[in-house]
Amino acid sequence: MIMTIFCSASSQKASQEEIKKRQTELQAIREQIKEYEEKIRQHQKNENEALELMDTYDRKATLVRRLIGKLRTQEHELQRTIEKTGHDMARLESQLDFLKKQYASYVASIYRTGRTHDLELLLSSQSINQFYLRTAYLKRFSAQRKKDAEQIVSKKMQIEETQAHAQQQLSEERRLIAEKGAEEDRLTSLATERREVLSQIRKSKTMAQRAIERQMKAAKELENMISQIIESDRIKKERAAGEARKSNLPQPPPVAGNFETKKGILRWPVGQGTVVARFGNQKHPTLKTITQNTGIDIAVASGSPVTAVAEGEVARIWWLPSYGNMVILSHNNGYRTIYTHLSEILVGEGQGVREGDIIAQSGEGLDGPRLHFELWKDREKQNPESWLSPQ
């Protein structure tokens, strides 16, 4: 009985610790959201910081989506736990019902025959040895009845504890659902505010010029990042080769696959969409200035699945002005693909991905919902459309 109660208490304690851990994770995201809310208030005071305000809206929206995603996950896990608790409750009640019936039958039997039956059983013994054996039997029989009674008490206590635990789980589920709804409302409100600021930016030539300058600066930062990844990969390969030589082990095999063979047949990073900005020189519709697009922009509904175009590894997850959230994948033979304007990232750095794996969800840029996609060979930018399969 003690062991059963202890196990039940341990299970509930573990569940409470898990809830506490999740609450800590959610609180960390909420604290980050608060920081961006303060930045938004600061940027709103200065009309010249509209672009920075847009950045902050986007970063806050990413955190809110992450928070909603975690709340959804917790809600689904909690629903499964509640279902299991219900099954446990039914099992315990069935066991308790059986023990009660068994014990009631014994008590009724004792009431009918009284203790004279036990005395008659002893007096009818044919030998001293039989007398001792029957005495021992009656003691064991009495001990078993006592044990049955204790089990009934134990089962009742388990049911009461499980009922209390189930009530706690239901309360937590209601709280999660309410909080998720509040965050979804916050995200909707955030999107409305973002559209208003975006409208102001599009009407201002000054802001358009600043946006171009920020884009050029961000492109330079991206080039530096690619260089850092290349250097990091080189050091990693040299270190692995050196360790293999010291240990007299065979050299590490090259990464499977051949990216070059995919030229002209490479899968698209989104299932559908239209290329609205091509690789190379682009003329700005308002300022009439010439800028260079280092990839292609694909107009696609926000929240669309973004998939890896080939097998590879997540080299970097980052955020840059003008690009927003980004994922850089490393492929074999020095090829890399870059995915930006992401509303949600679903992979982690160092994670291996297969061709077609969903790595993110698309988001929005200054010009609307889209995915920006780039393809590099070492430090050289490639025209993605010459690699992608015909649509």
- Does 249 lie in the same domain as 199? no
Is pLDDT larger for residue 357 or for residue 27?
357
218 phi, psi to nearest 5 deg = -65, -40
Residue spans of beta strands (DSSP E) within the chain: 274-277, 280-283, 290-293, 296-299, 305-307, 312-320, 324-330, 335-345, 352-353, 358-365, 368-377, 380-382
| Domain membership flag for residue 38 | yes
**Bridge partners for 307 per DSSP:** 358
Residues 6+ apart with CB under 8 A from 93: 159
Last residue of a domain, one of 203, 223, 245: 203
Vertex 128: Cα angle to 124 and 132 (nearest 5) = 85
| Domain membership flag for residue 391 | no
Residue spans of beta strands (DSSP E) within 188-311: 274-277, 280-283, 290-293, 296-299, 305-307
- Does 368 lie in the same domain as 338? yes
Average pLDDT over residues 160-188: 79
- Does 214 lie in the same domain as 150? no
Largest CA distance in the chain: 119
CA distance 327 to 329: 7
pLDDT at 66 over 70: yes
Last residue of a domain, one of 163, 183, 203: 203
- Does 219 lie in the same domain as 198? no
- Does 149 lie in the same domain as 63? yes
| Domain membership flag for residue 279 | yes
Share the mean pLDDT of the chain. 81
| Domain membership flag for residue 249 | yes
pLDDT at position 109, please? Answer: 65
| Domain membership flag for residue 34 | yes
Residues 6+ apart with CB under 8 A from 296: 275, 277, 278, 279, 372, 373, 374, 384, 385
| Domain membership flag for residue 287 | yes
- pLDDT tens column, 248-283: 766 555 554 689 899 999 999 999 899 999 998 887
Average pLDDT over residues 110-128: 58
User: Domain with 164 in it: what CATH number?
Assistant: 1.10.287
- Does 61 lie in the same domain as 81? yes
- Does 211 lie in the same domain as 136? no
Domain holding 304, by residue range, is 205-255+262-386
CA distance 383 to 376: 9
C-alpha torsion sign, points 215, 221, 224, 225? negative
If you ran DSSP here, which 8-state letter would residue 262 be given?
G
- Does 224 lie in the same domain as 132? no
Question: Binning pLDDT at 50, 70 and 90, where does residue 138 land?
Answer: low
| Domain membership flag for residue 378 | yes
Number of domains the chain contains: 2
Is pLDDT larger for residue 370 or for residue 64?
370
- pLDDT tens column, 198-247: 888 878 888 888 888 888 899 999 999 999 999 988 888 888 777 777 77
- Does 190 lie in the same domain as 50? yes
Last residue of a domain, one of 182, 203, 224: 203
pLDDT at position 251, please? Answer: 58
| Domain membership flag for residue 100 | yes
Asked if residues 347 and 303 have their Cβ atoms less than 8 Å apart, the reply is no
Average pLDDT over residues 69-84: 80
- Does 101 lie in the same domain as 186? yes
Question: Binning pLDDT at 50, 70 and 90, where does residue 142 land?
Answer: low
For 283, half-sphere exposure in the C-beta direction (CA atoms, 13 angstrom radius) is 2
Vertex 234: Cα angle to 354 and 280 (nearest 5) = 65
- Does 181 lie in the same domain as 249? no
- Does 149 lie in the same domain as 239? no
Average pLDDT over residues 335-354: 93
User: Domain with 328 in it: what CATH number?
Assistant: 2.70.70.10
pLDDT at position 160, please? Answer: 77
